[in-house]
Every structure is written in C-alpha cells, then in structure tokens.
Amino acid sequence: MEHNYIADIAEFEGKDVTFHGWVYSKRSSGKIWFLMLRDGTGMTQCVVVKAEVPEDVFEIEPTLTQESSVSVTGTVRKDDRSVGGYELTVKDIIVHQVAEEYPISPKEHGTSFLMDHRHLWLRSKKQHAILGIRNQVIKACRDFFEENGFTLIDTPIFTANACEGTSNLFNVEYFDRTAYLTQSGQLYGEAAAMAFGKIYCFGPTFRAEKSKTRRHLTEFWMIEPEMAYCDLDENMEWAEQLVSFILNRCLERCKDQLETLDRDISKLEAVSLPFPRITYDEAVNILEKNGIDFDYGTDFGGADETIISEQFESPVMIHRWPKEAKAFYLKRDADNDDLALGVDMIAPEGYGEIIGGGQREDDLEILKSRIKEHELPEEEFKWYLDLRRYGSVPHSGFGLGLERTVAWITGIPHIRETIPFPRTLARLEP
C-alpha cells in the first residue's frame, strides 16, 4: 500500500495523491459535497463535485458516516477557502468500512461520557494535540539526558520494599509472597548511579492513594535522574535545565498543537533560567503575607502551592524542608539538623508540584537509624544500605511527574487527559 500523509500535503500540490484515513465530518450541498479527512497526521478537506467524478463515487456521500474508514484519491490544490490552505479535489474514494453511529458528536459532552469512550476520544483534535505534546516531552527528556551523558536504567515494577511507607502501595500476589507495584525507581536509581555516575529511569509508577483531584492518577509516569557526586545545589541546576529544555522543545516543535489547545504561549515564553529558589521558610513567609494561617512543618496543600507559584513567572524550587515533611533517605542540612535537603519544583499557573527530589543520606549509620525511626524493615533495605558500605558518595536526584508537566505545558486543567488511558480511583476501563 502506498503511504502518503496529510501532514505533507503541501509537497503534493498539483499532483494526484491517495490518503488513507477516516471521515472526520462531511457536509453536503446537492451537487457538491465536502469530506473532512483525518489520517492521524493531520486533516484536510476533500471536495467531491458531481460533474467531475463518476456517478458511483458521488453517490457514496449518503452512505458515509462519521469515522468511516476511507482511502481518498484526488488532486491537491491550494485553496484559501480550505482549513490548512490546501484541499483535495476527489477522483476516487474506496470505502473500507462504514462506521456504526459514532458516539462522539462535534457538540459538547461530559468528561465522564468521554472517558468511557477514551479509546475513541483519542481521535479528537484536542486529545490528539495533548498526546502529541506528551510524545515530545518524553522525547525531550530522553534527548536531554542523552546529550548530558546520562545512561538510561530501567528499574523494576515489582518491588519487595516501599520507599515511602506501605499505605500507598498496590500489592499483588507474587507466587507465595506479596509484591508491591513500584511507587518510584529511586532506590534502584541510586544503585545504578554508583555504577554509571549519572543515570535516569523512566517508567510507570503506582500509588494507591485515594485521591480524587485533578492532579492525581493511580498510575503515572516518572522520569527520575540520579547523580553520583552531586549535592543539592547541583541537583537543582539539573532540574531547572531539564524543565527548561523540555519547555523550549515544545515551544519549537509543538506550535500547532499548542494552538489547537488555545494555550497562552506568552506564559510559557516568560519562563527563564535560572528558576527562583526559595527555602521552605521563605515559602511559609509568602503564605503568611498572603493571609494564610499555615501550620509550620507540614507539606503545602494545592491552594498553598498556587499562591507560592503566583509570585513567580518561572517554576519555583522550594528547598530545605522540615525533616518531618520529607522521606527518611534525605540528607540533613549540615547547618541545621532539623532541615532535610529536599527540593520540590512548583509549576507556574497553579499546576502544582512537578518535581520532588533532594540529596540522599550517604552515611551508613545515620541511614540505619532513620530506617529504624520510621519503623521500616531493615532487612528489606539491606541491598540499599550496601550502597553506603561500598564507596558511598554524596549523591542526589529527583523525579519529574510526566503527566503534571504535560498538563502545565498544554494548559489542560485535569491530568487525566495527559495520558492515553488514565487510571484513577474510579476508572480501570477502558
């Protein structure tokens, strides 16, 4: 089968071409009808004129339904009346299948209905644009790490231990014992960093949190770099470089998609390096200045993050957190043992936390006592503690939430549209 794509339509001006696709919509007007053809790479209008095609081709119109699969042959012509500037004067149409009545009409639908039809909703313009941007964000991450000497290390999905407590874990039967679905590749990433220096992992992670908000999924993807001989400040540099790289890539390569989504690009273009860095204490001050009665020592809520992010045009990094608010494996600040060397990056415009990370505790005895304090089973962290026995070094890393990053760049309010098939508290299908 010959393959030509609508995305390349300009190359075919004046020539005959066949596009294989689906009927997005059609309009009929007696002696002429129009077919909007979608082929996955783009859309173009096909014009069928009664006087210019065989009778049987013209007569196809009433039999076609939305999303019927067709191959359309015709001559590509420049025409300002057509969306995209080009259109196809039809010579022949081959119908592969006449679609049954398509549930998604061009008019409005509720999200619940659309999510029930997610397998079809993917064909819609906006969803197509969002997932196209997701693809570019992933590619940007891989390119960034590749260009900077990082090695991709795949970490396991089945794990025996929890890195941040067991309450949020999905457990699965694993022969005669229980395994958990990973909630982070970090601990394995630390092991790999000691082997390769700079690594990253990229994969799905699972959290059994009963969260019902626009920022949560039970299955989401994380990009987690881990660097040996790296302190908190360098860690923050890597984080801002990565996010800046991703953003610029999207601004360069996803103009069409951002336009389809009506994204206000000026807000994205306003982002500049270096990103602001504030301590946890400074963030609390911002909240208090804005009249929030904040409970010192706790993590920020969604509304708090929005207020903090509104103070800046670029993503803001909050570092040096009260130790109670952060995980056991974070190193403490040498100047204040009550502070953990963690960092969160908050996206602008209220999109919330997109990065969490920090410098890891590299001392064996301190780490052992932390595991004890947190009442975690030391036996399961035996291999992790080995990393502090055999050539321990200062090291840091972070996790970038892919879906939240895509939500911010696309300007989509709900994270569930940034992944092809979202898994939430109430949704396991389709």
Partner RNA sequence: UCCGGAGUAGCUCAAUGGUAGAGCGGGUGGCUGUUAACCACUAGGCUGGGGGUUCGAGUCCCUCCUCCGGAGCCA
DSSP 237-303: HHHHHHHHHHHHHHHHH-HHHHHHTT--HHHHHT--SSPPEEEHHHHHHHHHHTT----TTSPP-HH
Give the nearer residue to RNA in terms of CB position, either 144 or 328: 328
Shortest distance, position 3 Cβ to RNA, whole Å: 25
Give the nearer residue to RNA in terms of CB position, either 213 or 229: 213
Structure tokens at 374: 């947190």
Shortest distance, position 281 Cβ to RNA, whole Å: 18
Shortest distance, position 379 Cβ to RNA, whole Å: 23
Contacts for 44 with CB less than 8 Å, ≥ 6 apart: 6, 9, 19, 36, 37, 82, 84, 86, 87, 88
> 380-407 burial, b for 16+ CB within 10 Å, e for fewer?
ebeebeebbeeebebbbbbbbbbbbbbb
**Distance from C-alpha of 17 to C-alpha of 241, rounded to nearest angstrom:** 44
Classify residue 427 by burial, with Cβ atoms within 10 Å: 0-12, 13-18, 19+: middle
Which residue bears the tokens 């993503």? 315
Which residue bears the tokens 């696709």? 21
Shortest distance, position 186 Cβ to RNA, whole Å: 9
**Distance from C-alpha of 413 to C-alpha of 407, rounded to nearest angstrom:** 7
Give the nearer residue to RNA in terms of CB position, either 165 or 195: 165
Shortest distance, position 389 Cβ to RNA, whole Å: 26
Q: How many CA atoms lie within 13 A of 35 on its CB side?
A: 36
Give the nearer residue to RNA in terms of CB position, either 113 or 174: 113
**Distance from C-alpha of 23 to C-alpha of 93, rounded to nearest angstrom:** 11
Give the nearer residue to RNA in terms of CB position, either 265 or 325: 325
Shortest distance, position 9 Cβ to RNA, whole Å: 14
Give the nearer residue to RNA in terms of CB position, either 207 or 332: 207
Give the nearer residue to RNA in terms of CB position, either 55 or 365: 55
Shortest distance, position 2 Cβ to RNA, whole Å: 25
Structure tokens at 36: 């909007």
